[in-house]
Structure 1
Amino acid sequence: MVIDHMRMALLWYRWSEVSDTLVLDRIRQGNKQALTVLIGRHHASVCSYLSTCLTDPGVVEQATHETFRQVHEAAERADLLTVNRIQLLSAARSVAIDIWRADPEGCAVTDGFRHWVTSGGSWPLEAPAALFDAYRSLPMRWQSALWHMAVDEDKPSVTAEVLGLPPGRLTITGQRARHALKDFYLAAYERSARDRPACLAHARDRAVFTTVVPGATATGHSSLCLPCAQADADLADLDLGLRLQLPAMLLGWWNDTAYQQMRALALRNSDPRPLSGSIRSA
């Protein structure tokens, strides 16, 4: 047992600054350790997300295994050139849908997931889109960083591993990502307000005040204007806005409370990280 823990510790040390994208590249090259590392980094999140879809723990684990199997096969075929947690959760959602549709009477699903699927699996297009659009304008690396930092609230060491960063560089990366997100948001905000003079003036004031005094309110206009009030709220706490808006906009189905609870439990019980069995093609 001591030897096993020593081997695992050595494995994580060797791969600690290898990004998920490079891990995927090594999977493509046939490195068996690489798949273990990818599973170890994301198993808790994938399994927790699937637990918000499916109610049988055995089926959840089956679906988790199937998710990583599909990713493994896609990597070997070179159909998948990059990987991140959002992609894995998206793949998990598709696996859950397929499992339920294959046996709708025998497969138990959560009420919320059943309602979401049967109502057409729609995305919340009526939700505020400015923050989402700004997020999607960022480089993929910064998108991934903000997901781990704002939505999943991962430990800095975990986020640094996923991005392939030395721990000391993560703070700088996060600052740059948030600064760019704010710039893209403000630019989109101004474009959307072109035909509304009062909103446009507020948007321009907000850009100045956000730069000088973060979180300051430039005028009283937003107290009477819902779109500008939403913009003020988004800019005052970007991380909160991302956590509230981003998952549903990216994944469609999302139960934040259930996901966070299951994930906290999975991470607390991991030793040293949650791993599943070997992945074999069907």
Structure 2
Amino acid sequence: MAAVRRGPARDRRGGDRSVDPKGLGIMAESQQPVLEGKGLSKHYGHVVALDHSDFDLYPGEVLAVIGDNGAGKSTLIKILSGALVPDGGTIWLNGEEVHFTTPMEARKRGIETVYQDLAVSPALDIAENMFLGRERRAPGFLGKWFRKLDRAGMRREAREHLSNLGLLTIQNIGQSVESLSGGQRQGVAVARAAAFGSKVMILDEPTAALGVKESQRVLDLIRKLSADGMPIVLISHNMPHVFEVAHRIHVHRLGKRIAIMRPDQNTMSDAVAVMTGARQIN
């Protein structure tokens, strides 16, 4: 597999970079992936959803995963997030081989996923959604014996996370999520993942069905999280958004990774051509 290039490129020392499998440039050999998959496979009877696919995510980068419908990218992401168990291959997290059988196991290891449907509960308030499944008990006797929740503490921490991400448009932390706009709901879901995803965040179509202004707010969140050192996997069909925030682009086709591309060295037309098979990778 080789990254697509417009032409041979040379680094500052005169070395040829035209063949760069990981698309990381001359520093590729000195970095270890945060999350890595080798030879991942998944079959449903005679249907091959994933065909010995590779994957790597490096510290602090935004890695976009693109592919046509049915390419297998959703299966890949579900395996990395613990929603599916692969039939073959290995997954490595910070150099350690891991075996996830449920999303909860992946979450405990610091891999948070924000799905396209957001998986938020509209009737609950913002703080309750952020701590859903991770509710904290009040300190002392009431929390220990009567299982009282520390609602004030959870609301205070939820506000801190939202403020750190610049989501200052949400004034009342106790308002129900159903009263928020689409972009604000996405912000709550991303803030929840950022609060608990200590190692990796996976975003599945985070700007789908959002307006221009709200989409830009989500992209700003992605850039901020990446700048703070959070490695992010971005699954998206929106090529302008991909080229705006991604450092590398993982192109998935026919159940496997067929190319790594870089927005600073390739065009959207290049990416679409490779993704659809109109352009072949040598």
Instruction: Verify same fold: TM over 0.5.
Output: no
TM-score range (shorter-chain normalised) is: under 0.3
Q: TM-score, normalised by structure 1?
A: 0.27
**Which structure's residues are more often strand, by fraction?**
2
**Which structure's residues are more often helix, by fraction?**
1
